[in-house]
């Protein structure tokens, strides 16, 4: 503990190895979602869909999604993985899951969920639904270039960086989305 301006400040290190002062003084945005930096996850999962950041779902959801039986029918596709690969990916997702994240958007996701709620789809999260409720269906499900809210990167131009702010939304065939 360090005393600064008469305040006792805990200088402990967070679980990810980042010190309190590094976290406090960082220029990185904590308003968004931590980018997914696990190469194995990105390689295995991006073959079929956008590699969703771990901070978009709580640990319990990732455990359900990566259960071996669930992977046999992963939203209509067989996404089975060998145990070693599955465990490594699950560990990476759990480490940065929404319930463990210090990022503001992950915290908003968690505060919108009920206790022990573990949605299987990001689009079922109340916070995500609320953020998209004003967008007409014709711009999402009626748009061949978007199809559904599951394709985050169709409109969120910086989704791969974990940035989902309104300023980076460009709806294909429509243009910038302004609230």
The answer to whether residue 34 is domain-embedded is no
Judged by DSSP in three states, 3 sits in strand
Provide the residue range defining the domain that includes 6. 1-29
* Region of poorest pLDDT, from 22-26, 33-37, 124-128, 140-144: 22-26
Alpha carbons 86 and 67: distance in angstroms, whole number: 9
Domain co-membership, 98 together with 161: yes
Is 162 inside any structural domain?
A: yes
Furthest-apart CA pair in the chain: how many Å?
59
Structural domains of the chain, count:
2
**Same structural domain for residues 24 and 57?**
no
Mean pLDDT of all residues in 121-147? 95
Q: Are 13 and 74 within one domain?
A: no
Residue with more model confidence, 106 or 28: 106
How large is the average pLDDT for residues 154-161? 95
Q: Are residues 57 and 88 in the same domain?
A: yes
pLDDT digits (tens, 9 = 90+) for 15-60: 555 566 665 565 444 668 999 989 999 999 988 899 999 999 999 9
């Amino acid at each position: 503990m360090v005393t600064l301006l008469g305040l006792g400040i805990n200088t402990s290190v967070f679980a990810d190895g980042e010190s309190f002062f590094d976290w406090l003084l960082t220029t990185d945005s904590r308003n968004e979602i931590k980018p997914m930096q696990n190469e194995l996850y990105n390689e295995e999962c991006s073959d079929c869909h956008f590699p969703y950041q771990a901070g978009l779902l709580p640990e319990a959801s990732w455990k359900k999604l990566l259960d071996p039986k669930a992977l046999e029918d992963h939203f209509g596709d067989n996404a089975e993985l060998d145990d070693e690969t599955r465990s490594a990916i699950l560990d990476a997702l759990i480490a940065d899951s929404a319930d463990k994240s210090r990022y503001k958007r992950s915290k908003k996701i968690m505060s919108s969920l009920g206790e022990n709620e573990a949605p299987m789809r990001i689009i079922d999260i109340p916070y995500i639904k609320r953020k998209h409720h004003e967008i007409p269906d014709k711009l999402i499900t009626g748009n061949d270039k978007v199809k559904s809210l599951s394709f985050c990167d169709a409109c969120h131009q910086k989704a791969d960086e974990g940035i989902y702010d309104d300023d980076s939304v460009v709806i294909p065939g429509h243009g910038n989305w302004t609230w």
